[in-house]
Homo-oligomer: A and B are copies of this chain.
Amino acid sequence: MKYIGDKAEDMKIAYIGGGSRGWAWRLMSDLALEQSISGTVYLYDIDYEAAKTNEIIGNNLKSQWLYKCVNNIEETLRGADFVIISILPGTFNEMMSDVHTPEKFGIYQSVGDTTGPGGLFRALRTIPLYVEFANKIKEYCPEAWVINYTNPMALCVKTLYETFPKIKAFGCCHEVFSTQNLIAKAVKEIEGIECSREDIRTNVLGINHFTWIDKASYKNIDLIPVYKKFVEKYFESGYEDRGDWKESYFNSANKVKFDLFKKYGIIAAAGDRHLAEFVPFLGYLENPETVARWKFHLTPVSWRIKNREELIEKSKRIANGEEKFEIEPSGEEGVKQIKALLGLGDLITNVNLPNIGQMEGIDYGTVVETNALFTKDRVQPIVSGELPEAVNMLLAPHVLNQKMIFEAAIKKDKDLAFQAFLNDPFLRKLSYSDAKKLFNEMFENTKEYLLGW
């Protein structure tokens, strides 16, 4: 990499999971739209075909970036300036077990990739992969900045730091952005003022997908009372900020968010489907009917499988020119972060990092999500204070499990993994023996990806 004036050229970005049709395509768009940086993106994926297709797509774009599909991780990483990781740990078969096996025992997960029984098993198969990534990064590009998009976010980031403590890594998720968009809509609805999420200042704190905003302002206006009025207005009906909640598994009427605000007086800053999974005992996930009553969705893995097939088809069409790849801002901030780290303009945004002081009342080392200042070669968390005690209590089992699941995965300690399983609030419903039965069944189902246990 070299700097020419205020531009960085000849950069190398290593993309692990480079066959991705979500994060990778959004990156391609954002890179194409950004004139101040250029170079080559190395695409690595265990699905070589997918990476290859993305290489074609990327190189077809009108962009100052070259895309290069490679089939070994070492070549991908060697000398990289930035590393991006977005992978699927295991296959949708394993995810099928993660999400749907617990349903037999009356446990309904709306996502199943972060917490709950599904999140736990996903973590068990992800952590060893991230140990490997961290070791390779240490060897091949120890100075690179690493951006993680994979879930379970907190455990991915934790694994990177535990394995290679000097790693320069952080994890990104857009759930807070959506909440900021919702707040901007509340400003419009309540105050009649147009503003965008970028105009809003929020203090972010919590853990990924169970993140909170305790302070928010637009210019000189304190937005907490504004949001309060908004919640009061739409508490019963819900507010469908992205269109009819029924039209997409990813839509909702934000009723869970509003209910949490009523209960705790603070803004929950993630989609309802994520939030509900951290507090199943609050009744949002009793069964499919209650979920519908709360106006959000259980996301079936069958949909993911079908969606993937469609995306594969779409990628082929784009690659062979039958369909146009639309270059448009993705709403993600990866490229802005890269620019800031290159010294091309500061940025404050929310990221996932081990707690080194930014969050009070949570153990050091826990991966938490708060704002951070991005500047030349530095990401510094902003001290974000403490959650209300009642909310901290909701986090407590998840914070504990972050530590326990990590340890269990590293030591291949099945008893400890089961202990963590029992800690999860989802398990409140089951007797000890049913819990054991479920654990063993999920273990069996996914054991192909649980090597060394």
Contacts and interface: CB of A to CB of B under 8 A. Distances in A.
Nearest to A396: B400
Interface in A410-431: 415-416, 419, 422-423, 427-429, 431
Contact of A373 (B382, B422, B435): B382
A256 to B, nearest CB: 13
A283 interface: yes
The bracket for how many chain A residues form the interface is 35 or more
Contact of A377 (B3, B217, B428): B217
A91 interface: no
Interface stretch (A120-128, A246-254, A310-318, A340-348): A340-348
Interface in A210-251: 215, 217-222
Contacts of A423: 393
A358 interface: yes
A428 B435 CA distance: 12
Given A217-B377, A382-B382, A383-B358, A415 B431 contact: no
B283 A431 contact: yes
A33 interface: no
Contact of A360 (B8, B357, B373, B422): B357
A356 interface: yes
In the complex this chain forms, how many copies of it are found? 4
B383 A201 contact: no
A305 interface: no
Interface string A348-364: 10000000111110000
Contacts of A390: 415-416, 419
A349 B396 CA distance: 34
Contacts of A375: 201, 217
A389 interface: yes
A332 interface: no
A282 B432 contact: yes
A407 B377 CA distance: 29
A220 B6 CA distance: 8
A324 interface: no
Nearest to A356: B383
B6 A219 contact: yes
Contacts of A359: 357
Interface of A: 3, 6, 8, 201, 203, 215, 217-222, 281-283, 286, 342-344, 346, 348, 356-360, 373, 375-378, 380-385, 389-390, 393, 396, 400, 404, 407, 415-416, 419, 422-423, 427-429, 431-433, 435
Top 9 closest A-B pairs, CB basis? A357-B357, A220-B343, A428-B428, A217-B376, A283-B432, A381-B383, A201-B375, A3-B220, A219-B343
Given A222-B377, A373-B373, A428-B428, 20 more contacts: A3-B220, A6-B220, A201-B346, A203-B380, A217-B375, A281-B432, A281-B435, A283-B431, A283-B432, A346-B348, A357-B357, A357-B360, A357-B383, A380-B383, A381-B382, A381-B383, A383-B383, A389-B407, A389-B416, A396-B400
